[in-house]
Structure 1
C-alpha cells in the first residue's frame, strides 16, 4: 500500500514531536483496545458436510466423439448438440485411488475447462445417492497453485529489486494488511459484529501498521496517519448518509443474496459500508503520504515559505493528484463490474430505471463516497503538514533572512553574513524569474509565491 514519496526530512522541533506523540499514541491505543474488544471469540464454524471430495490429477488421454442429438423440448425442436463430447483418462494423484487411471467425461457447458493431455486438473468424486458404494469422477477445474506461486515470486522479486529495503517493508505491510483482514475483519463480520465498526477499526489498525512499517516513524508519517484517519471518518459518515438517503439495503448483488442465505446474522447494509471503507484505504494512504511529503519538500527547498504559502503550493499538487486518482477509482470499479455493465447494456428498461436500480445505485454511491473521502484528505493532510513543518522554525527563518539582508561589516568577523553555499546558488538560480522578463531592479527571489502553477485550459 502506498508509495515512497519521501527522503530524509529535516529534524522536527522537540515540541512538535511531543504534540504528535501525544496525539498519535492515544489514537493507536484506542484502536488497539477497540480491536481487542471486537476480536471474535472463535472462528465461525462452516458446515462442510455437503462438500464433495476434491483430488489432484493429471490428464493422460483425451478421446473426443460426436455428441448425441439433443432431445426435443415442448418449447420447440431439439437444439444443436453442444460439445465437446467424449472421455478423458486421468491419473489420480491423491485420495484412495492414488496412482490409478480413471475415466471421466470431457467437461462441457458454460465455463467448462478445456483440457489436453498433460494438464494438471482437479477431480471431484461424486457418489450415487441410490448406491453409496458407487462413485465416479468428474473434472472440476485446472490446478492453479504453481502459476500463482510463480506470479507471487515474480511480484515480490520485482518490488524488492526496485524498492530494496523500502520494497521489503512494503511487502511486510502487505502481509500485515492481509493478516488483519483474514484474522480480524472477516471473522468479526462473520461473527455478527457491526461491519461498519469492524471495518473502521480494522482499517485504522492496517493504517498504523502499514504506514509506519513502510515509511518509518517520523513526523511526516504521523501527519499522513492523522490525515488518513480523519479521511476514513469522513468517508464513513458520508457513506452512512448516502446509503440512508438512497435507501440501499446491501442486497444489490447475487453474492450478497447468497451470503444472506448462508449467514443470516451478517448486516448487509453495514457490509456495504465496510466495503467502501476498506476499498478507500488503499488510495487514501497514497494521497496523504504524497501531500505530507510535498509540504516537507517545499519547506526544505525554500525555508522562507509561510504556512499559508506551503498550504497553497501543496494543494495545487493535490489537485493534480486527485484528478488522476478519481479516474483510477471509477475505472477500478468499472473493471470489477464489467459483467454488470454488459447486463445494463442489454437491459431493455429506460436508462432512468436502470441507473436508480439498487445494484447500479450501489456502485454509484461506492464510487462517489470514496472520491469525496479522497478530496477531503487533501486539504486536511496538507493543513496538518503545513502546521507541523512550519512549527518552531519561524525564529530561525527570520534570523537567517535578517542576516542575509544585513551589510557585511568591514573585516568580516562573527557578524559577517554567511557566503551562499553552492546549493543555495542553485536553488536561487532555478527559482529566479527569467532574465528577459525581470527588471534590473527586481530582487532575485522565489518567483511569485502566490502564483498558481496550474496549466490554463
Structure 2
C-alpha cells in the first residue's frame, strides 16, 4: 500500500515528526474524495501491517476459490442453437411502412400467397443472405410495430418452409448496434473528460469486473457449481479488481474494501433468511422456467439469493469508499481524536448517505418494473395481496435486503476505519 503524503493543513511539528519539513505543505494537495492522507511513519506502518494481514489471506482465498470453482471442460455458454431447422438469421432495412408497396414484387417472386400477409407487416430490403437486395414483406409483432420507421435496421429470421404460405422473413428484433455503440463512446468520452486518469482506471476496473462475471460466474453457475460459493468468490474478485484498479492500493481503499465485504456478508445472511422466510421460489417468469428446462438441477432459490448479492455490489462499494474516506479525513485533520469520537463523527456523515440510499434502490426498482406494476394495478385485488404476489414479492425482498445491507455497511465501514486509527497525542491537536 502506498504511503500517502501529508495535507497542507498539518502543523509544522507533525511534518518534522513524519520526516518532512513544514515547507512541503505549500506543495501538498488539498483534501479530496480519495486524496492525500496524512499518517505518521509509525502509524502508517502499523495500519499497513494490519490491513495486509487481513487482505493478503483474502486475496489468496479468492485465488484458491477461483481455481477450485473455475468451470472445466466444454462450456455450456452458447450450447443452445439460436434458430431451429432450416431457419437462419438475416439483416434487413425498412423501406416502407405500407406493406402494399412490396406485395406485388414479392408475389412475382412466388414467395407470397394471396391473403397470407398479416396486418402488422412492413416492407424491408434484405441486406444479407441469398435474397440480398430484394424488398420483401416482413411480419412485425403489433407491440414492436410502433417503433418502426423507414431506414431502421432489422434482424429477421428467414424460414424456407414459409415460402408457400407467406413471406419467409419474420421480424426478430431491431438492430441497435449503432445507437448503443454511440452512447458507449459518449459515455467513455464524458468519463475520461470529467474524471481524467481516475475515469480511465474506473472504466478498466469495470471491464475487469465484467470479465469475472462473464468468464467465471456465468459459466460456473451453468455448469452446476455451488451458487453461493461461486457468487461469494466472484463478488470478492470483482471488488478487489474494481476498487484497487480504480482507486489504487492505499489505506483508504483497503478500509473501504473491508467495509464492502462486511456489507456483502450481511447481504448474504439477509437474503438467505428473506428467501426462506418469504417462501420465494425464484421460478417466476418465462426466463426462469426456460432456464430450469435447459439446465437440469439448477437451484433457482440459490440463484435468486446470488442475484440479490450482485445487485447491490456497485452502490455498496460507492458508499463504503466515501465513508472510509470521511473517517480517515477526520483522523488526518485531528490525530488526537479518539476512536469513539471518530466513529460518531463519521456516522454524522454516514447518516446523509443512509438518507439517500433509503430511496435509491427503491426508485431503481420502480423504474425497471414499471410495466409489471402497471399491469398488477389493473387487477381488482387488495393492494397488499398484489404487492406480496410472486414476481413483485421477489423484487420487493431483493430491494429490502440490498437496502438493509447497504445501510448496515456504513456503520461497519466507519467502525473498521475508526479501529484502525490510533490516537496521537501531539499537543497541537485542534478541538
SS at match of 1:54: strand
> Shift of residue 49 of structure 1?
6.5
**What residue in structure 1 maps to residue 154 of structure 2?**
121
> Does 1:103 pair with 2:136?
yes
Contact 1:84 1:107 in 2 (8 A): no
Larger deviation: 49-58 or 319-328?
Answer: 49-58
Residues 308 and 252 of structure 1: CA distance in aligned 2, closer, same or farther (over 3 Å): same
> Does 1:47 pair with 2:75?
no
Residues 293 and 86 of structure 1: CA distance in aligned 2, closer, same or farther (over 3 Å): closer
> Does 1:236 pair with 2:268?
yes
Contact 1:56 1:123 in 2 (8 A): yes
Larger deviation: 313-322 or 356-365?
Answer: 356-365
Contact 1:194 1:267 in 2 (8 A): no
> Does 1:312 pair with 2:344?
yes
Contact 2:92 2:124 in 1 (8 A): no
Contact 2:280 2:394 in 1 (8 A): yes
SS at match of 1:141: strand
Residues 89 and 325 of structure 1: CA distance in aligned 2, closer, same or farther (over 3 Å): closer
> Shift of residue 131 of structure 1?
7.3
Give the distance between the partners of 1:244 and 1:120, measured in 2 at CA.
46
**What residue in structure 2 maps to residue 453 of structure 1?**
none
**What residue in structure 2 maps to residue 112 of structure 1?**
145
**What residue in structure 2 maps to residue 173 of structure 1?**
205
SS at match of 1:56: strand
The superposition leaves residues 198-248 of structure 1 with CA deviations (integer Å, 9 ceiling, x where unpaired) of 111111110011101111101111111111112111110111111111111
TM-score in terms of structure 1 length = 0.77
Contact 1:40 1:191 in 2 (8 A): yes
> Does 1:195 pair with 2:227?
yes
Q: Which runs of 5 or more structure 1 residues have no equivalent in the other structure?
A: 67-81, 405-423, 425-444, 447-457
1:346-385 superposed matches below 5 A: 346-385=378-417
Larger radius of gyration: 1
Contact 1:83 1:108 in 2 (8 A): no
**What residue in structure 1 maps to residue 283 of structure 2?**
251
Residues 161 and 350 of structure 1: CA distance in aligned 2, closer, same or farther (over 3 Å): same
Count of residues in Structure 1 that have an aligned counterpart in Structure 2: 378
**What residue in structure 2 maps to residue 295 of structure 1?**
327
> Does 1:265 pair with 2:297?
yes
Residues 54 and 316 of structure 1: CA distance in aligned 2, closer, same or farther (over 3 Å): same
**What residue in structure 2 maps to residue 221 of structure 1?**
253
Q: Which runs of 5 or more structure 2 residues have no equivalent in the other structure?
A: 1-31, 102-116
Aligned-pair Cα RMSD in Å:
2.5
SS at match of 1:59: strand
Give the distance between the partners of 1:65 and 1:143, measured in 2 at CA.
24
SS at match of 2:123: strand
> Shift of residue 129 of structure 1?
6.8
Residues 115 and 302 of structure 1: CA distance in aligned 2, closer, same or farther (over 3 Å): same
Larger deviation: 359-368 or 204-213?
Answer: 359-368
Residues 278 and 49 of structure 1: CA distance in aligned 2, closer, same or farther (over 3 Å): closer
Give the distance between the partners of 2:272 and 2:187, measured in 1 at CA.
36
> Does 1:19 pair with 2:50?
yes
> Shift of residue 333 of structure 1?
1.3
> Shift of residue 106 of structure 1?
5.6
**What residue in structure 2 maps to residue 79 of structure 1?**
none
TM-score in terms of structure 2 length = 0.81
Residues 359 and 57 of structure 1: CA distance in aligned 2, closer, same or farther (over 3 Å): closer
Give the distance between the partners of 2:146 and 2:37, measured in 1 at CA.
55
> Shift of residue 144 of structure 1?
0.8
1:390-409 superposed matches below 5 A: 390-391=421-422, 394=423, 397-398=424-425, 400-401=426-427, 404=428
Structure 1 stretches of 4+ with a deviation exceeding 4 A read 82-87, 129-132
**What residue in structure 1 maps to residue 37 of structure 2?**
9
Contact 1:295 1:310 in 2 (8 A): yes
Larger deviation: 22-31 or 54-63?
Answer: 54-63
The superposition leaves residues 9-48 of structure 1 with CA deviations (integer Å, 9 ceiling, x where unpaired) of 1245212211211110101110111112111113105221
